[in-house]
Amino acid sequence: MRLLTRRATLAACLALAAAPRAGFAASGSGPAIGAAAPDFALPDQDGTLRRLSEFRGKTVVLEWTNHDCPFVRKHYNSGNMQALQTLAKERGIVWLSMASSPEGEQGFVTGGQARELTESRKANPTAVLLDPRSVASRAYNATVTPHMFVIDGQGMLRYMGAIDSVRSSRVEDVARAEPWLRDAMIAVAEGRTPAQAVTQPYGCVVKYYGA
């Protein structure tokens, strides 16, 4: 409803992100730093089936996304997400945007809509992967959008958490934030251990199929 204020919308996002969800895997069974990242097979925006394992040998960034989430819009409207995607491409890093909202939920997109969003936002991911049945979301225990993961060339998980250090939806906060994801993906691409391997993600709750 349009009568819902922006502040109330943000509060709801944050409250949901902190709440437990039915159908969500227990935290103890999720991915672990230094362990093999869960493989998956999902269609991209063009209908091509993509597997994480096909990118073995390259650093991979996973970005859980929901284009209607104000925290995601913060990073796209500021150009921060596009800049990170471009930097990744320049350094040979694979960037996979994970569109995981089930049909009928906020953030759901078809392949055609994903292509339109990429073009209209001047985004630069390697691919947008469609996960409306929450296959990858459950494997990674993805909780919010944006939730970020970095995987090394041997398929080991090296970073998971927030895109940066300022937990807000304000565009002006991007410049003053510590760029945790940027630092982590560069470190992993250069064969170094990220200074912070795990951080607390913030954003809008990831919606799960059948939950």
β 41-43/49-51 pair status: antiparallel
pTM of the model: 0.87
Tokens, residue 35: 């362990």
* CATH no., domain 54-205: 3.40.30.10
Question: Where in the chain are the domains?
Answer: 54-205
pLDDT tens over the chain, length 211 residues: 333 334 444 444 443 443 333 333 333 468 999 999 999 999 999 999 999 999 999 999 999 999 999 999 999 999 999 999 999 999 999 999 999 999 999 999 999 999 999 999 999 999 999 999 999 999 999 999 999 999 999 999 999 999 999 999 999 999 999 999 999 999 999 999 999 999 999 999 999 999 8
- Choose among 122, 60, 49, 128: nearest CA to 89: 60
